[in-house]
Structure 1
């Protein structure tokens, strides 16, 4: 699976997060790969991921609660 590190829009980033988490749920990638991909996306796109003390609105709308619960645990974010 190829994952870009830099995304132009929040929607593109949200699609990538969805694909990564869904691929893990469908046993296409390992849990460790998912963790590594999510950390890399956050590290390289911090302003598109989180604003203030919450995920950006587009990320919330596109990804949904179940996926974002996983992302919060991976990134050790608690808000």
Structure 2
């Protein structure tokens, strides 16, 4: 589970609602998804689905990733 939106770099908690992923696990916040053409992933064109949350008790043994991913040019592509 990526810790941020790949477009705006907003922090995204592993238990947050309003987070979307594609089949490649590109990760986006709801605000950015609203700006994507046809609601498709700007990286691969795939459909975006709500990201499942991780049960808080599982975060102890299986925490989310700390590696941040930002897609260069995302803001310009949707502006």
Same fold (TM over 0.5): no
Which structure: greater helix fraction?
Answer: 1
Q: Which has the higher strand share?
A: 2
* Structure number, greater radius of gyration: 2
* TM-score class, shorter: under 0.3
Output the TM-score relative to the length of structure 1. Answer: 0.23
